[in-house]
Structure 1
Amino acid sequence: MPGKFDPPADDRPGYIEGESGVAGFGCRDFYVAWIPSRLARELLIKHHYSHRIVNNSYCHLGVYYRRNLAGALSFGYALNPIQVGKIVPDTKTGEYMELNRMWLADVAPRNSESKALSYAFKYIKRACPSVAWVQSFADERCGRNGVVYQAANFLYCGHHWTEFYFLDAEYYHVMLLTTNKKGGGRGRTLRANLDRAIPLRFRQFRYVYFIKKNWRKRLALKTHPYPKPESTD
């Protein structure tokens, strides 16, 4: 934790220093800064389209617009850590992050998402110097195929299909069916009502960003042109 820090007072972007370390990056009217996990979870549960958080998240940043808290970013380990070495071989724990949740209020100006990501990566570069790359996924349910990541210069590394079930106004990932213990109450709800749950398939678009540019040559996945909304392959 960076300890107490003052919001930036300069119009030029720069690092925000706390009592015990770097606290964020940005300028007076737009910056990202460390926030407690409790606050990030409250914001994301309330405002993110999934209304859920990822429990293995450990880096939480608030997005501030004109001194108002107007967004949150949540980074953590991959949901499937065993696959990390197939993306960037020889990656160790602590050398990558997965951006698993991002929400910005509508009041934020155009292109705020890409600016927030740029500032977040500058913060991570200094606060978490072992991190070399970041992965994130765009969910086809959102209908935009990852335009935020495209604007932030991520590499597009293809997509995979993921199965969901729709039940009583909510989406359930297929993995909730794998074991009786997995998924807690949501898993029990899905299994008990599977006969009327509607099966669906959506693409998950994988994006990778290299904070340490010299790691780019390690990428084991093929990169592709950015997908467009009309793409169906």
Structure 2
Amino acid sequence: MSSRSELRLDWCPYNAAKFAVENWHYSKRMPIGKIVRIGVWENNGFIGAVLFSRGASHQLGQQYGLNQTQCCELTRVALKEHKTQVSRIVAVAVRMLKKHCPRLRLIVSFADPIQGHHGGIYQASNWTYTGKSLDTWEWFHEGRWKHVREVSGGAFGGERKIKNTFLLPRRRAIGKHRYLMPFDDEMRSTVEPMRKPYPKRAGSIDADALADQAGEGGSIPTSALHLDESRRNT
């Protein structure tokens, strides 16, 4: 008899995704704005969620020649203790997204070296690694470090501008490892010249969680990811 766990992914309501993020993802907070939410069940038990959004910057896809409806970001993988490999869960979620979003051409995701992550789950699924994003600044406010876009009001989903940031503790945040998943031959040809060697593995692939994009999570406009409304907004 096979010992392989029974895995099921399906669209999940906001409250279920929120529970997963607050309990099983170290950011403890949902991305801002509208989110594509995919729940994960193992042996009929809910074990978490995979979340996609447009990302914090409206320029996310610009360097790849894409507009806001053609590119999105994988912003959370929030899972409790489980048996299925994270790379397999992410691969299934990506296939679901691709099927229901015909205009989507590229997914971008980040792994945060500050959290000890190098992107092992993306390496296991043959994502294209393109190096690190630029260093930036973070400010400590309301009990946590906030990205520059939160304090400047540049994040999607609402204004969060903080006055007198010079009074707040500040630290430099090193760049995050960037991974790309192209969906068509033309996009693969575009990103392939950007490919760089994978960063070295710090631990096992499944010990490597998704990068914390607190302060970078964005929203997806209705036109960007064409999911059935009854599924996405329940």
Is the 8 Å Cα contact of residues 28 and 67 (structure 1) preserved in structure 2? no
> Alignment partner of 2:198: what SS?
coil
Tell me how many residue pairs correspond in the alignment. 196
- Could you say which residue in structure 1 is the equivalent of 2:28? 51
Give the unaligned 5+ runs of structure 1: 1-10, 12-26
* Cα separation, 2, equivalents of 1:123 and 1:92: 21
Is the 8 Å Cα contact of residues 156 and 226 (structure 1) preserved in structure 2? yes
Q: Alignment partner for residue 8 of structure 2, among 14, 23, 31?
A: 31
* Cα separation, 1, equivalents of 2:87 and 2:138: 28
More strand by share: 1
* Cα separation, 1, equivalents of 2:140 and 2:123: 29
Change in CA separation of 1:199 and 1:28 when aligned onto 2, cut-off 3 Å: closer
- Could you say which residue in structure 2 is the equivalent of 1:60? 37
Deviation at 1:175, TM superposition (A): 3.0
Is the 8 Å Cα contact of residues 156 and 224 (structure 1) preserved in structure 2? yes
Deviation at 1:54, TM superposition (A): 1.4
Is the 8 Å Cα contact of residues 34 and 62 (structure 1) preserved in structure 2? yes
* Cα separation, 2, equivalents of 1:159 and 1:99: 16
Is the 8 Å Cα contact of residues 98 and 135 (structure 1) preserved in structure 2? yes
Residues 32-62 of structure 1, C-alpha deviations (whole Å, 9 max, x = no match): 1110223212321333111111123431001
Is the 8 Å Cα contact of residues 109 and 178 (structure 2) preserved in structure 1? yes
Deviation at 1:124, TM superposition (A): 1.6
Please tell me whether Structure 1 or Structure 2 has the larger radius of gyration of its CA atoms.
1
Q: Alignment partner for residue 171 of structure 1, among 138, 145, 156?
A: 145
Matched, 1:143 2:116: yes
* Cα separation, 1, equivalents of 2:198 and 2:78: 22
- Could you say which residue in structure 2 is the equivalent of 1:125? 98
Deviation at 1:214, TM superposition (A): 4.1
- Could you say which residue in structure 2 is the equivalent of 1:210? 182
Matched, 1:95 2:74: no
* Cα separation, 2, equivalents of 1:229 and 1:171: 26
- Could you say which residue in structure 2 is the equivalent of 1:4? none
* Cα separation, 2, equivalents of 1:50 and 1:214: 35
Q: Cα RMSD over matched residues?
A: 2.9
Change in CA separation of 1:137 and 1:102 when aligned onto 2, cut-off 3 Å: same
- Could you say which residue in structure 2 is the equivalent of 1:227? 199
Give the unaligned 5+ runs of structure 2: 203-234
Q: Residue 67 of structure 1 aligns to which amino acid in structure 2? A: N
Q: TM-score, normalised by structure 2?
A: 0.72
Identity %: 23
Deviation at 1:212, TM superposition (A): 2.7
